[in-house]
Amino acid sequence: MSIGRVFVLGHSQDKECVSREVGRRTTSITVPRDKCGVETVQHGKGAGYTSSVNIVISFHDKFLTKVDRAYNITCLFAPTGDVVSYALTVQPSLLKDIQVLADQPSCEYEVFDVRTRRPAEVVHVNAPLEHVWTCDGANLDLFCMRVHDCVINEGKSRRRSKIIDSEGCSLDTTRLPNLRYDNNKLSARVMSKAFRFGDDVAVEFECNVRLDLRNGTSCPRPRC
């Protein structure tokens, strides 16, 4: 039976910084970003940040031996649109870069008929509607979400009218009030009434959703 441990250098007595998986051929460790001596460096606004930590793989439950290995792990967290990569450096040994592409959330926008709780397709003027933006997938706790630059395509004329600005604030709260964000999920929603332009019967909403890397425990919200 294999007996050993994986721990953060200098934190072998901290339970959150140690992993013991006895009897397995493979092992792993999860290190909190704000604990265990993890060093985080911000690279300027919008440029992301790196977090570094030294990990030790020890083949003895209590002592360090000559066959143990130390790893300096640096993780680069880049804003959405760029690749989130993990660069792994192993010492002492031949150096080999390992890159892993992290899955990023996918987002969707739906409008629901409040009375039926189904996606709205054909509704009457002044019918109550709920606009919902949601992002789902892996690594949700790494990101903050903001809906911005929404426009309305006005039926046959295809004239475009902006309804939400670049900061995420409504430009016409009578038609579309300011959005409410869920603090525990990547989602936003708002209630409105169905409306139309002149004789046009088709109204199309189009929005942008931006995912920024979370810096701390809460996400900044638009100040409207």
User: Within this chain, do residues 122 and 209 fall inside the same structural domain, yes or no?
Assistant: yes
pLDDT at 96: 43
- Tens digit of pLDDT for each residue in 156-165? 666 788 999 9
155, 161 Cβ separation under 8 angstroms: no
- What is the rounded CA–CA span in Å between residue 134 and residue 110? 9
pLDDT at 106: 85
Based on C-alpha coordinates, what's the Rg of the chain?
25
pLDDT band at 23 (very low <50, low <70, confident <90, very high): low
pLDDT at 79: 61
**84 has a pLDDT exceeding 80:** no
- Tens digit of pLDDT for each residue in 110-153? 888 888 888 887 777 788 889 999 998 877 888 888 999 988 87
User: Within this chain, do residues 126 and 30 fall inside the same structural domain, yes or no?
Assistant: no
The average confidence (pLDDT) of the chain is 76
In a domain, 24, yes or no: yes
**192 has a pLDDT exceeding 50:** yes
Distances (CA, A) of 219 to 14, 88, 132, 168, 185: 29, 29, 18, 14, 11
pLDDT at 180: 94
Q: Domain tally for the chain?
A: 2
Regarding pTM above 0.85, the answer is: no
In a domain, 98, yes or no: no
User: Within this chain, do residues 206 and 149 fall inside the same structural domain, yes or no?
Assistant: yes
User: Within this chain, do residues 71 and 119 fall inside the same structural domain, yes or no?
Assistant: no
Q: For the beta carbon of residue 32, count every other beta carbon within 10 angstroms.
A: 10
Q: Which residue has 């409306």 as its token pair?
A: 195
